[in-house]
Structure 1
Amino acid sequence: MEAACEIVVETTPERLWELVSDIETPTRFSPELQRVRWLDGVTGPKPGARFEGHNRNDILGEWRTVSHVVAFDPPRVFSWAVVDPDGRFGDHDADPAKPIATWRFELQPRDGGVLLRHGVRLGPARSGMTKVIEARPEKKDEIIGRRLADLRTAMEATLRGIKELAEG
């Protein structure tokens, strides 16, 4: 399952890259991601770097994740795989090759600006959505549709916020 959104930002790829490669930027706009911090003494993104995230939503409550930078190609691609280090959703495997989700920013220069894409691919590991579906299997399609819609709404808010910061 995947969801993605995009927006054109009237700025340079370098300015936009500063914002999308700062892991704290999404916390300013996301209704779910509350705070983040780099782990292992790392102070910025690079391949293999890890960061901790704290999330909250009305259905699942609060939980912690660890993300691994899986793609870092300035100023074009920044992507991270999210694992459930505490096994809150049933998988105790914190392998970034089997994430609960993989998030991605892609930048593509355009005349007068940059096309910014923000996307997510869910799975293959168990997630909060898995637990909700198991509790209400007859509502599976509705649950998936609602979760993807919520993620798109959050990504759109993040993209609008980044656009405002970059152009402001």
Structure 2
Amino acid sequence: MRISATPDEVYSVISDLPRCGEWSTECRGGSWVSGAPAEVGSVFRGDNLRSPDVVPWAPVVRGAWHTHAEVVAAEPGRTFRWAMRDTAGRAQESVWAFDVTAVEDGGSVLVHHFRMDAATEGIRGITAGMDQDARRRFFAEWGEKVAADLVVTVGRIKQVVEKG
């Protein structure tokens, strides 16, 4: 999404995870629990809230819950990424990311994406009792939810950044 701000201005917002409640569809904010804020290796505790209508037939977490995420890439003005941690504190192959590129008129393009190479501890728990058809249905519906959330999040970030 095109944003009327420099890559450094956009990065200063997207890397300030305690503010994510201003733009995220589920994360309401949180705090840095270890390391220097927004640096590789730092850990953020996110406070989340999910509505009951998200894949309503599946046993996903609803209401309030928290997560821990570890910053895995932090390149000011370019990229900010974090991996969800499991209950043992290990980074999982579930990475959320923002990439920022400059455009000719001094603005930026912000892309938000998500990659899960191996099912997370939470996803394995959700799908453990499902047969193959239910798993396919779950991943299709979950994928649609995540894709929609990414679009909403970037739109809200645009509003926050452009307001100053």
Task: Classify 1:115/1:141 alpha carbon distance in 2 versus 1 (closer, same or farther; 3 Å).
Answer: same
Whether the 8 Å CA contact 1:100–1:127 is kept in 2: the answer is no
Q: Distance in 1 between matches of 2:145 and 2:19?
A: 19
Q: Which runs of 4+ in 1 moved over 3 A?
A: none
Which residue of structure 2 lines up, in the alignment, with residue 32 of structure 1?
26
Give the alignment of 1:32-111 within 5 angstroms: 32-40=26-34, 42=36, 44-57=37-50, 58=52, 59-61=60-62, 62-85=64-87, 93-96=88-91, 99=92, 101-111=94-104
Query: SS of 1:35's equivalent?
Result: strand
Which residue of structure 2 lines up, in the alignment, with residue 131 of structure 1?
125
Residues 58-111 of structure 1: CA deviation (Å, up to 9, x unaligned): 3312432211111111110111111122xxxxxxx4222xx1521111001112
Task: Give identity over the alignment, percent.
Answer: 23
Which residue of structure 2 lines up, in the alignment, with residue 88 of structure 1?
none
Whether the 8 Å CA contact 1:100–1:124 is kept in 2: the answer is yes
- Higher RCO (CA 8 Å, separation ≥ 6 residues): 1
Residues 13-65 of structure 1: CA deviation (Å, up to 9, x unaligned): 121111111103332222321231001364x2111111111223233124322
Task: Classify 1:41/1:100 alpha carbon distance in 2 versus 1 (closer, same or farther; 3 Å).
Answer: closer
Q: Which moved more, 1:21-30 or 1:69-78?
A: 21-30
Q: Distance in 2 between matches of 1:123 and 1:56?
A: 24
Q: Identify the match of residue 11 of structure 1 among 2, 5, 18.
A: 5
TM-score (norm 1): 0.80
The letter for the 2-side match of 1:33 is: C
Whether the 8 Å CA contact 2:3–2:162 is kept in 1: the answer is yes
Kindly tell me the number of residue pairs found equivalent between the two proteins: 152
Q: Distance in 2 between matches of 1:29 and 1:165?
A: 8
Q: Distance in 1 between matches of 2:153 and 2:44?
A: 19
TM-score (norm 2): 0.82
